[in-house]
Amino acid sequence: TLMKYDEEFNPADFVFTGLGREYALAFAERGASVVVNDLGADTKGGGKSSAAADKVVEEIRAKGGKAVANYDSVEDGEKVIQSILCGSFNIHCILDLFHNVPMGNNNLIHRVHLRGSFSVTRAAWNHMKNQAFGRIIMTTSAAGIYGNFGQANYSAAKLGLLGLANTLAIEGLRYNIRCNTIAPVAGSRLTETVMTPELVASLKPEYIAPMVLWLCHEQCQENGALFEVLRWERSQGSIVRQKNQPMTPEAVRDQWDKICDFTDATKPKSVQESLLSIVSVLSGLDSGGGVGATPTAAAALASGVNPAEAVGQKLPPSTFTFTPAQCILYALGVGMSTKDPDHLRFLYEGHEDFSCLPTFGVIPSQAAMMDGGLSSIPGLNIDFTQVLHGEQYLELYKPLPTSGTLTSEATVADVLDKGSGAVILLDVKTFSGDQLICFNQFSVFVVGAGGFGGRRTSDNAKAAVPPPKRAPDVVAIDSTTRDQAALYRLSGDWNPLHIDPSFAAMGGFKAPILHGLCSFGFAARHVLKHFAANDPSRFKAIKVRFVKPVMPGQSLQTEMWKEGNRIHLQCKVKETDAVVLAGAYVDLHGASEASLGNLTQHGALQSELVFAEIGRRIKDSGSELVRKVNAVFAWEITKDSRSAAEWTMDLKNGSGSLHRGPAGGKADVTITVSDEDFMEVVQGRLNPQKAFFSGKLKVRGNIMLSQKLEVILKDHAKL
Ligand SMILES: CCCCCCC[C@@H](O)CC(=O)SCCNC(=O)CCNC(=O)[C@H](O)C(C)(C)COP(=O)(O)OP(=O)(O)OC[C@H]1O[C@@H](n2cnc3c(N)ncnc32)[C@H](O)[C@@H]1OP(=O)(O)O
């Protein structure tokens, strides 16, 4: 192989853990003798231990390689180099890689990053000159190249290294000493602020080591260059590692011309822009531009899913403790407002009917996954910048409490190959103690991660259902605010996609988008208001597919169709008329199980008053389509009423009867009526008694008649 170092040459290297460890292992594997230098300082720059260097040395030796540890400070470069030479090592290359110095320590940063590199290189310089060979790699940082907020000292030190390297490159040329600089994009504090841990993890040190090995090889004549493992003025680059293939120096060598081809070069202007194009290469978004990868290969690079490994895996159980404050914050997050008096019961903990919105049921279970559990599942090597919420199903088994501690257990139910993406189905059960409170199915769409040859459908999936082909029964329009996502995320979905413009850009969006579950919450409460009088106990289940993103500030238009206890719905963005939620429905519990409150009337009962009262309450509730009204009538049985109660009446279409009950008793009455007839009655166009006797209003249950009602009934009977 190309990088076989010969035994006599004994190149030496100064490294520690992370990138350094990776370099050390890679060099040793290729036959180099490696000196591992690490002062062993703790993260604050204090303390001293040999553990870090020794560990790497042991690792190399265990694999049959040659390595020794050195614990001298890099500020004392002479000492470091002397100890290497005493150990009968020659110096082939120096890798200055001091990147774990605490960010805040100005003095230490300069001492180690700049003076340390200078000191060690100066000490090695004459030896390299004498042997007419040397390779030096300085490690700088994107923070130095572009500048980065709050990192003035670090940026200065790091770009100082580039100046040093550029001069050494010139001065070393005639001695066959080559000096290059790299700015590796790997797990660092810098990248952690703008990239997800998963993405950082996908830019592994082992993908950088082959580049470094090649730059140190005697055949490599590159000099005075800055490689960002990509370059300052950036070439289109080349993908040198294919799916499931290791990255090798030979692959770097073979792609070298392409890596260094500056036709169509770009000049990223900021750290974010720099990272963005790397991510775009990784995700295959830029596949047409000569990066040499098919979209699938690039996507697989960033977003590997392996159903065989993932399906059936369980996430660690997670607990979620909440108070009324979280219920209120959630209600505000899905657009509730005190300007609508109906909303007060969800916004004010002192309200007599204070309740938690049913769709809050997604929050504890999502928290279970946002804790990072999803990324820990084997077979789900997901690039989180490409994750979109695909669908959601939620079923409540009882109304949610307004405070408490809930436990959620999540399982990967399936992983589907949808061609343009992978769909991960996650079933989550949420318990209060040992009582099952709700079930969620999250469908997570990972854009660009399809095409792995998996199944397209799943028996485990809760299906979306298209709405009836008629005009909607009810349409509700509501505006989201510019800060809707900023508010909604406080309920627990911290995905930067919804707030961070650079993260959104990595996902291909011009600006942060609204949480899918936020529009879901809007739609669900529209149904609850128009079909269930805002009564959370009526809510049973909801299913939604997210078909297009919503931008904060857009208006949502929810179109609803009633089919029995199922309310079909779809949501459009009013400004664009684009459908954003489709195949959606809310299942309600039958109205007979709910109530508009008790109508209690003592003494004489006038049916007009009763119906007028029912009508008023229905109007107040905002619902126009109530089929069944459950009312409890209670009145005293008087002496006179007895004769009235003697008679039993079968209604037309015979769903109920009137007959006598015990004196002083109560009667449960269900009045059933078609939507149209009921509205006629409520709006006063149809006399309730007429409706009653013609069978349009059906009374179910036992009714005890008062004398007054008897009279009215008799009158109407005469009619
Ligand atoms: C960690 C905890 C878990 C929670 C994770 C979520 C965290 C949140 O913070 C993230 C969010 O809230 S993102 C915001 C909400 N979601 C969206 O905006 C996505 C909108 N949808 C889209 O853009 C496209 O539908 C898109 C891109 C999804 C698909 O579009 P296309 O690639 O054009 O697909 P298309 O050609 O239409 O169809 C291909 C196959 O995929 C199926 N499909 C389409 N949309 C789907 C969707 N939304 N969900 C599931 N499957 C979907 C199609 O049906 C088709 O498959 P088949 O041929 O088998 O029917």
The residue among 441, 478, 447, 487 whose CA lies nearest residue 461 is 441
Question: What integer pLDDT is reported at residue 450 of this predicted model?
Answer: 87
Distance of CA 371 to the CA centre of its chain: 10
Query: Of the residues 296, 424, 546, 580, which should be mutated to test ligand 1's pocket, given the most ligand atoms within 8 Å of the CB?
Result: 546
Backbone angles phi, psi at 484, to 5 degrees: -60, -45
Dihedral, CA of residue 336, residue 338, residue 342 and residue 347, to nearest 10? 70
Do residue 558 and residue 644 come from a single domain? no
Cα–Cα dist 127/46, whole Å = 32
Q: How far is CA 108 from CA 73, 152, 154, 591, in A?
A: 12, 14, 10, 71
Distance of CA 236 to the CA centre of its chain: 30
CB of 445 closer than 6 A to ligand 1? Answer: yes
What integer is the mean pLDDT of 37-46? 56
C-beta neighbour count of 126 within 10 angstroms:
11
Cα–Cα dist 429/313, whole Å = 14
User: Which atom number of ligand 1 is nearest to the Cα of residue 495?
Assistant: 9
User: Which atom number of ligand 1 is nearest to the Cα of residue 457?
Assistant: 59
Do residue 78 and residue 152 come from a single domain? yes
Do residue 327 and residue 469 come from a single domain? yes
Do residue 535 and residue 646 come from a single domain? no
C-beta neighbour count of 412 within 10 angstroms:
23
Do residue 269 and residue 163 come from a single domain? no
Position 216 pLDDT exceeds 60: yes
CB of 421 closer than 6 A to ligand 1? Answer: yes
Higher pLDDT, 503 or 424: 424
The residue among 89, 29, 92 whose CA lies nearest residue 59 is 29
**CATH code, domain carrying 291:** 1.10.287.4290
Over the stretch 253-302, which tens digit does the pLDDT of each residue have?
Answer: 877 787 777 777 776 655 555 555 565 555 543 333 323 333 333 333 33
Position 122 pLDDT exceeds 70: yes
Residue whose CA is at the smallest distance from ligand 1 atom 52: 390
Residue 6 lies in a domain: no
In the structure encoding, which two tokens stand for residue 320, read together? 């979620």
Q: Cα 91–164–154 angle (5° rounding)?
A: 110
Cα–Cα dist 226/292, whole Å = 22
Residue pair 177/183 in contact (Cβ under 8 Å)? The answer is: no
Residue whose CA is at the smallest distance from ligand 1 atom 7: 389
Region of poorest pLDDT, from 369-383, 467-481, 521-535, 684-698:
684-698
Considering 560, 591, 622, which residue would you say is the last residue of a domain?
A: 591
Cα–Cα dist 325/347, whole Å = 9
Position 581 pLDDT exceeds 90: yes
CB of 443 closer than 6 A to ligand 1? Answer: yes
Residues in contact with 506: Cβ distance below 8 Å, sequence separation at least 6, in sequence order: 195, 275, 276, 279, 280, 385
Do residue 441 and residue 534 come from a single domain? yes
Beta-ladder partners of 566: 563, 587
Cα–Cα dist 597/99, whole Å = 68
Do residue 435 and residue 470 come from a single domain? yes
CB of 573 closer than 6 A to ligand 1? Answer: no
What integer is the mean pLDDT of 70-98? 71
What integer is the mean pLDDT of 213-235? 73
Domain holding 287, by residue range, is 238-302
Instruction: Verify whether residue 154 is a known catalytic residue.
Output: yes
Point out the catalytic residue in the list 154, 207, 330, 488: 154
The label of the residue with tokens 């820990």 reads 376
Q: Cα 84–10–38 angle (5° rounding)?
A: 40
The complex scores an ipTM of 0.98
Cα–Cα dist 453/643, whole Å = 79
Residue 242 lies in a domain: yes
Residue 141 lies in a domain: yes
CB of 363 closer than 6 A to ligand 1? Answer: no
Do residue 341 and residue 428 come from a single domain? yes
Packed helices 117-131 and 77-86: angle between N→C axes, nearest 10 degrees: 40
Cα of 388 vs centre of ligand 1, distance in Å, is: 6
Packed helices 516-532 and 362-370: angle between N→C axes, nearest 10 degrees: 170
Cα of 464 vs centre of ligand 1, distance in Å, is: 13
Cα of 426 vs centre of ligand 1, distance in Å, is: 15
Position 620 pLDDT exceeds 50: yes
Query: Of the residues 389, 425, 581, which should be mutated to test ligand 1's pocket, given the most ligand atoms within 8 Å of the CB?
Result: 389
Question: What integer pLDDT is reported at residue 401 of this predicted model?
Answer: 95
Cα–Cα dist 247/210, whole Å = 7
Collapse the DSSP code of 65 into the 3-class scheme (helix H, G, I; strand E, B; otherwise coil) and give the result: coil
Residue whose CA is at the smallest distance from ligand 1 atom 27: 447
Residue 336 lies in a domain: yes
Cα–Cα dist 139/94, whole Å = 11
Considering 229, 262, 286, which residue would you say is the last residue of a domain?
A: 229
Residue 3 lies in a domain: no
Position 629 pLDDT exceeds 50: no
Question: What integer pLDDT is reported at residue 550 of this predicted model?
Answer: 98
Cα of 275 vs centre of ligand 1, distance in Å, is: 25
Collapse the DSSP code of 444 into the 3-class scheme (helix H, G, I; strand E, B; otherwise coil) and give the result: strand
Region of poorest pLDDT, from 337-341, 405-409, 530-534, 662-666:
662-666
Do residue 23 and residue 163 come from a single domain? yes
Question: What integer pLDDT is reported at residue 132 of this predicted model?
Answer: 84
**CATH code, domain carrying 406:** 3.10.129.10
Considering 591, 625, 651, which residue would you say is the last residue of a domain?
A: 591
Cα–Cα dist 373/310, whole Å = 13
User: Which atom number of ligand 1 is nearest to the Cα of residue 374?
Assistant: 1
The residue among 314, 517, 323, 319 whose CA lies nearest residue 408 is 319
The label of the residue with tokens 């290469």 reads 281
Residue 12 lies in a domain: no
**Exposed e or buried b per residue across 16-38, where buried means at least 16 C-beta atoms within 10 angstroms of its C-beta:** bbbbbbbbbbbbbbbbbbbbbbb
Do residue 414 and residue 540 come from a single domain? yes
Cα of 389 vs centre of ligand 1, distance in Å, is: 6
CB of 281 closer than 6 A to ligand 1? Answer: no
What integer is the mean pLDDT of 653-679? 45
Residue 4 lies in a domain: no
Query: Of the residues 382, 547, 581, which should be mutated to test ligand 1's pocket, given the most ligand atoms within 8 Å of the CB?
Result: 547
Do residue 317 and residue 393 come from a single domain? yes
Do residue 545 and residue 636 come from a single domain? no
Residue whose CA is at the smallest distance from ligand 1 atom 55: 418
Q: How many domains does the chain have?
A: 4
Q: Give percent of the chain above pLDDT 70.
A: 63
Cα of 416 vs centre of ligand 1, distance in Å, is: 12
Residue 9 lies in a domain: no
Is beta strand 318-322 parallel, antiparallel or unpaired with respect to 380-381? unpaired
Query: What would the 3-class secondary structure string for 468-533 be?
Result: CCCCCCEEEEEECCCCHHHHHHHHCCCCHHHCCHHHHHHCCCCCCCCCHHHHHHHHHHHHHHHHHC
